[in-house]
Amino acid sequence: MSLTYKDSGVDKEAGYEEVKLIKPLIKKTYRDGVISDIGGFSGLFELNKDKYEKPVLVSGTDGVGTKLKIAFELDKHDTIGEDCVAMCVNDILCQGAEPLFFLDYISTGKLVPEKMSEIVEGVANGCVKGGCALIGGETAEMPGLYEENEYDLAGFAVGIVDKDKIIDGKKNIKEGDAILALPSSGVHSNGFSFVRKIIFEEKDYDLYKFIDEIGTDLGTELLKPTKIYTKPLLGLTKKFEINGISHITGGGLYENIPRALPKGLTANIDVSKINTQKIFTLLQEWGKVDVKEMYSTFNMGVGIVFFVNENIKEEVKKYLNDIEEEVFEIGKVIKGDEGVILCH
C-alpha cells in the first residue's frame, strides 16, 4: 500500500470541509472595496481614491499570546478570533486610520473543521465590529509541531488615512493637553503568562472556580474579548483634533503611553480616576504583586489613552457620552522626561 499525506497526520479533506463552514462567516464581513472571493490565491481590495487627497495605507499585525491556553483548557474557541482582530485594528486606529481589511493565519496540530470554524467565527465577529473585511487567510495543519488540541492564531490588518490627517503624538501633543481614556473590557490579550502563573501556580485555582467578587467563573472572565475601538475613535477623529492616541497593550501604561509622547513631555496620571475592574485587584492580591508591576504589565482598566487640547476636553467627553461610550479624564501632559508619572 502506498503512503498518503493523511498517513503523516495532514487531512486535506478536513481542510476542504473547513472552507465550506467558514465561507458564510467571511461573507458577512464584506464591505465596499472587496472585489475578490474566498478560494483565490490572494485577497483584492479596491481603494476609493476620491475619498482621500493623499491616501496612506496603515498596517498592523499581532497575535493573541498565551490567552490561547485558556481557550484550549475550556475548549471554547468562538471569541479568541475577536481578540486577534482587536489587537491589530486597535493599533492602526492610533494613527487615525480607518480599518479596511484583515487576514488571519491559524496553525494547528490537527485540523478539526468545526473548531477552526469557531475560531473564524470570532475573527468574523471582530471584523464586523472593527469595520474591516476578512478577505483572506490560511489554515495550516502541522502535526509534530503542535499538540493535536492546540493552535496558534495571528492576524494582519490594513487601514487607510489621509496623509494630512495622520495622528502623530510626537509632533502634536503639547504641555497642558488633557489625557482621556476609554475603558478596557478586562484583561484583554496581554500578560496571560503572568495571569496563569498567579492563578494556577500561586493559588492552584481552576478556570471553573466561581469568584464572588466578579460574579462569574475565572474562565468566563478571562476569555472576555478585547474591546475594539473603531466606532469611538473614528468618530472622535472626524469631529475633533486628537493630538495623540495610545493602545494600552503589553507593558501596560508605563510602556505604551510614552510611545505617543514627544521628548521632554510626561503623562501625569491620576489612577484614582480609572475604573479598574475587580479582576486586576484580585490578581494583584493573589500574586502579591507590586503596584508598579501591575501597571507595567496589564491595562488596569484602560484600553485606549488619547490626548486633546484642554479647551475641547468637555466637548469630547460629551460627544462620547452621547454615543454611550464611557470616558475618564485621567491626567495632564507636563514637562519632564519620566514618560509616565502615576499618582495613587
Are 255 and 176 contained in the same domain?
yes
Domain range holding 281?
169-343
Are 190 and 88 contained in the same domain?
no
Are 34 and 76 contained in the same domain?
yes
In sequence order, what are the residues at sequence separation of 6 or more whose Cβ sits closer than 8 angstroms to the Cβ of residue 51?
Answer: none
Residue 230 pairs with which residues in a beta bridge?
A: none
Which of 136, 165, 194 corresponds to the end of one domain?
Answer: 165
Are 242 and 333 contained in the same domain?
yes
pLDDT of residue 38: 82
Are 124 and 204 contained in the same domain?
no
Are 106 and 63 contained in the same domain?
yes
In sequence order, what are the residues at sequence separation of 6 or more whose Cβ sits closer than 8 angstroms to the Cβ of residue 41?
Answer: none
Are 224 and 247 contained in the same domain?
yes
Which of 150, 165, 180 corresponds to the end of one domain?
Answer: 165
Q: Which three cell numbers stand for residue 165?
A: 490627517
Are 65 and 187 contained in the same domain?
no
Return the number of other C-beta atoms located less than 10 Å from residue 95's C-beta: 18
Are 11 and 152 contained in the same domain?
yes
What averages of pLDDT result for each successive group of 10 residues across the chain (344 residues)? 86 89 93 89 91 95 97 97 98 98 97 96 98 96 93 97 96 97 97 97 96 97 98 97 97 96 97 96 97 97 98 97 96 95 90
Are 325 and 237 contained in the same domain?
yes
Are 73 and 85 contained in the same domain?
yes
Number of structural domains found in the chain: 2
* Radius of gyration, alpha carbons of the chain: 21
Distance of alpha carbon 48 from its chain centroid, rounded?
26
Residue 98 pairs with which residues in a beta bridge?
A: 160
Model pLDDT for residues 285-316, shown as the tens digit of each residue: 999 999 999 999 999 999 999 999 999 999 99
In sequence order, what are the residues at sequence separation of 6 or more whose Cβ sits closer than 8 angstroms to the Cβ of residue 286?
Answer: 198, 199, 202, 203
Model pLDDT for residues 258-278, shown as the tens digit of each residue: 999 999 999 999 999 999 999
Check which CATH number belongs to the domain holding 265 and give it. 3.90.650.10
Which of 123, 142, 165 corresponds to the end of one domain?
Answer: 165
